[in-house]
Chain A
Amino acid sequence: MDNILEFFEHTKNFIFFWKTAGMLKIFRIFWFFFVFEMVRYVLFDLFVICIYKVKSVFLRKKYQTARQMLLKQNPLVSVIAPGKNEGKHISALVNSLAEQTYKNLEIIIIDDGSDDDTPQICRALLRERKITKYLRNDIRGGKASAANFGFQQAKGSFIVHVDADCSFDRDAIENILIPFFLDSRIGVVSGNVKVRNPTESVCSALQAIEYLKTVTVGRLVSSTLKTLRIVSGAFGAFRADVINRVGGWDIGPGLDGDISVKVRKVNFAVYMEPKAVCYTSAPEDFKSLIKQRLRWSRSFVRFRLRKHKDVFFPTANFRFSTFFSFMENFVYNFLLDFKWIVYFIDIMIHFPTTAKYIFPLNYFLYTMSNVVQFIVIIWISERKKDELKLAPYLLLMPLYVGIYMRAVRTYAYIQELLFKTSYKDPWNPRKVSKKAEELGI
């Protein structure tokens, strides 16, 4: 009883404090939220999604024509799935590919030196003709090598790169191919990657929301603005001739982002199709998630800031959209990560006594912005009911995104900037990393 009374007392004090503080002070203290977070991730995204919705009404006819064209031409599509030790996932992958509405598929699994039961599983699938090709390198060459090997042996005029731990909606391949027939400048189409195991743990539930925010909404927004700079390795479709022009995949990690940038550099558009839905298994505990995210964030420094730094300068094939895209990425993911440290210090110096009022309101504001974003997600979702079940986890999102992810990212940036840690990541075989480091790529 006492506790409840105490809580009400605190809440009353809290509301009274902010009522008397006035709008100007609120803005002074939360300028960071209002200027960057709300404008960019709430208002701007909502605005662009509205544009997308309106546009797709006008595009409906054209979209239908594109679909008819795809079905009429019925081109051979090669699905390439490179991976190591993915034995336990392969049957789910192959089963969902067998169910595709688009049938002219060639399925190639590239086994990059697995030492699990992948060979037995794949050979059995090959005998049953459930896959077209099983390529195996006894010695691991890394993901880029495996993807390139698969691509070299593929015959399709479109290549769909998938991760072996993914599975697909029945119409996913059909939907991911349609954009190529909408616009001949589209070289790559990104699928809509969602989390398959949101109910397994708090960790995977939070990632499910994160994917909906950054992939489903985030990439759709970038795609609409023609600034999309990444196509998920989990589910991305390429024109085979475009892959040939860019020479296939380069050494990772982050090779999916890298090849998308290379495609942009040869003046093809990168597109996102929200109706092409793919499910991937997300790490279920925070420890393995850290490992994955450290790798992703290091590759940001390695590829965006080092390898492709030329997009920031007015060189011969300068493209404003690519520049803008990189700039946005740089500012929002990189600079602001360091900015929040400054912000924290600013609060502690200038408002030390009121910090106990500031942080709850901050949390409240971020939660509200997450709620708004979630409403947008539900609006465009094809699985509204399922995804609504994630709503309670919105309360934890500010912690997850604001503190956990930010800390992991910042740590990775510092590591990579100072020590080039990505070259020591066992994700690539040693021989490959060594070569990449020598060449500075």
Chain B
Amino acid sequence: MEILFITDDNSLKIPSDDRYKLVTTPPDQIEVEKIEGYDMVVVDARNPEAQQIVKSIRQSQSDAIALKPVFLFSTEEIKDMKLQCLSDGKTDSGEPLRIVSHANEISRLVSTLKEFKPENFEISAMLRILRFLYTRSIQLKPMILPTYRYGYIYPFAASQFSDDEDFRIYEILVRLEQEGLLMGNFYDRIHLCNRCRSAFMNFREICPSCKSANLSVENVIHHFSCGYTSEESKFTHGEQLICPKCNKILKHIGMDYEKPSTIFICHSCNETFQEPLVECFCFYCTNRTPVDETVSWDIKTYEITPAGVNCAIHGIMFSFAEFLSSQLDLVEYNDFKKMVDLEIERNKRYKRESSVAVFQVSNLQQIFFEIGEKKNELALEMAKIIKDALRKTDLISVLNESTFLLLFLETPAKNAQIALSRIKNNIEKLLIPNLSTSGKKFIPQITTNVLPVEEFSLNKIFP
């Protein structure tokens, strides 16, 4: 077994053994492509570039490199949690044997993986996550990272995306769960800025009238004998409580007076109120939103399902979107949105109606997995069903692997709904007989929704 040890500490001597051969390289000379030739990699965690090195291994195009067993070397506790999550474990000079057997187990599982060329980036990222979890026999766990904009990070999954795209991780995990390839367990719920999706927000009570956070809260006092009821400060004279209406001294709570409620006072505009608004201020983009308009998102721990293991081994991830694009003219989402906007303008001028629709098959991967060999044939049939239901002028766009957007020109929502139902029924008719022959019963989970084109937005279109 050959081990690549990446360190610039020349004084370090990890004893060689007849079971493994150690090759040492300083970090600045490392070439990721060459890692493929080694059985495992040990990275000196004391090196400031350690995280960057491990990350670039995990990001490699090739599964053989990205899934390589990578261990960290350190005699002390490793503080960098992200680095730890990206690696497979830790070693110090004393016990290399334990990691060797661990690395062998990983390599064994990696060797069971079938060669697979993903059609696109999304499929590739999905498969990479499944394969990582399968070869490590671990769960994908969220980790708190205060400097990270979402607060929680899945380090391995995050390494598959560039920093400005990392919110897609969450969407991909949701899709893997919908497909039945991962099983999610609730871990926490986070609230994100609805503009920039940052979790770094300040929640505070504000004045409903001037929005200032400069508030104080006071007790309300009710003086029994005269009925005067107002905030406590109007009664306060040093240590004493004196009623401003009748000048009596309030001596005994429950006998002379009571405190039936509290009231907020705004020091910016002198407004009084009992129910302040709660507002979120985003430290990233300075966006201010009411708390109920923040994006709430469930953070989960994910474990791979038996279907996910199958998928990981065989790499049977079928890009229907890719397939569809060979059969139909698909438009990019941005172009689709432009066409929608144009259509709204046209409709205004010519007084006509158009509609947009969403068509989603949430367990598409599982369906194709179940169908097996016949998948190309059936995908062709599905593409034909969609094609037949659309006119030449209608547009279709792929939002992600399982979600398609349709623009029906000059078609009122009612008629678009008919076309959409036809697609749904025909696809179900096509798939269900093919699915039930495999023994287990899978029902295609198809959701559809139609809106008049004027009401289109991504938030609204999902029912």
Q: Interface on A for B, CB 8 Å cutoff? A: 113, 123, 126, 133-142, 144-149, 152-153, 247-251, 255, 431-432, 434-436, 439, 441
Contacts and interface: CB of A to CB of B under 8 A. Distances in A.
Interface string B329-353: 0000000000000000000000000
A105 to B, nearest CB: 15
Given A136-B261, A139-B258, A431-B254, A152 B229 contact: yes
Given A139-B260, A141-B260, A149-B220, A134 B226 contact: no
A134 B227 contact: no
B228 A247 contact: yes
Interface of B: 220, 222, 224-231, 234, 245-246, 254-256, 258, 260-261, 263, 272-275
Given A145-B222, A247-B246, A138 B260 contact: yes
20 contacts: A133-B273, A135-B274, A137-B222, A137-B229, A141-B229, A141-B260, A142-B227, A145-B227, A148-B227, A152-B229, A153-B230, A153-B272, A247-B226, A247-B228, A250-B226, A250-B227, A431-B258, A432-B224, A435-B225, A436-B224
B260 A113 contact: yes
Contacts of B273: 133
A136 B274 contact: yes
A389 B226 CA distance: 44
A171 to B, nearest CB: 28
Contacts of B246: 247
A234 to B, nearest CB: 19
B210 to A, nearest CB: 14
Contact of A138 (B226, B255, B261, B275): B261
A147 B230 CA distance: 11
Contacts of A435: 224-225, 255-256
Nearest to B234: A152
Nearest to A439: B225
Contact of B228 (A113, A139, A248, A436): A248
Contacts of A152: 229-231, 234
A123 B273 CA distance: 12
Contacts of B261: 135-139
A225 to B, nearest CB: 31
A363 B370 CA distance: 95
Ranked nearest first, the 5 interchain pairs of A and B with the lowest CB-CB distance are A144-B227, A137-B260, A149-B229, A152-B230, A435-B224
A431 B260 CA distance: 13
Nearest to A142: B227
Contacts of A247: 226, 228, 245-246
Contacts of A138: 260-261
A126 to B, nearest CB: 7
A141 B259 CA distance: 10
Contacts of B231: 152
Contacts of A249: 227
A436 B225 contact: yes
A137 B228 CA distance: 13
B207 to A, nearest CB: 12
A123 B275 contact: yes
B229 A146 contact: yes
Nearest to A137: B260
Given A138-B261, A149-B220, A431-B258, A126 B275 contact: yes
A4 to B, nearest CB: 62
A207 to B, nearest CB: 28
A147 B226 CA distance: 12
A436 B225 CA distance: 6
A112 B256 CA distance: 18
Contacts of B275: 123, 126, 134
Contacts of B228: 145, 148, 247-248
A423 to B, nearest CB: 13
A441 B225 CA distance: 9
A262 to B, nearest CB: 12
A439 B255 CA distance: 13
A185 to B, nearest CB: 24
A142 B223 CA distance: 11
A346 B273 CA distance: 63
Most buried by B among A123, A145, A147, A250: A145
A186 B245 CA distance: 23
A283 to B, nearest CB: 25
A145 B225 contact: no
B109 to A, nearest CB: 56
Contact of A148 (B229, B254, B255, B256): B229
B249 to A, nearest CB: 14
B274 A431 contact: no
